[in-house]
Amino acid sequence: MTLAEYIVGTWILSSSVDIDAGGGRTDTWGPDPLGTYMFNANGRFTQIVMRSDLPKFASRDNATPEQAKAVVAGSLAMFGTYTVDEAASTVNVLFEACTFPAFTGTAGKRVVAMSSPDEMIFSNAGRAGGAKGQSVWRRVG
């Protein structure tokens, strides 16, 4: 099975860490992150990740500034198109829109390792401060 065939489907986030130059690990989205990554066979993707401990409030209009800031800092959603480079084992994405506006209209590259038929590991060397991001995803569909 090719990487392009392998990634098609719906994936749920198992873990997400930032790894610094010294090997130290930090939970990117907290200890119990939530997220989904969907790839379709036509080259489109959607990704949503968030902390599991986001503050709860009754409506968007009633959030305190601190609650609103926590939600913005603790969640990320994006969608766009993707291609696969089989030789390099990478997924190359073009962000059509993202809740982090600086990503909108830009491209990204993720190295993919297939750890089992239902688990994949994405690595991203372009994290802030030279850290490497690593996320583990479990297939659910």
Tens of pLDDT, residue by residue over 46-91, are: 999 999 999 999 888 899 999 999 999 999 999 999 999 999 999 9
DSSP at 73: H
Say how far apart CA 69 and CA 141 lie, in whole Å. Answer: 33
> Can you give the pLDDT at residue 141?
79
pLDDT at 128 over 80: no
Least confident of 17-26, 49-58, 97-106: 17-26
> Can you give the pLDDT at residue 32?
95
| Residue 138 near residue 117 (C-beta atoms within 8 A) | no
Backbone phi and psi for residue 122, each to the nearest 5 degrees, phi listed first? -100, 135
Domains in the chain: ranges and CATH: 3-139 (2.40.128.280)
| Residue 71 near residue 60 (C-beta atoms within 8 A) | no
pLDDT at 127 over 70: no
* Count, residues in the chain: 141
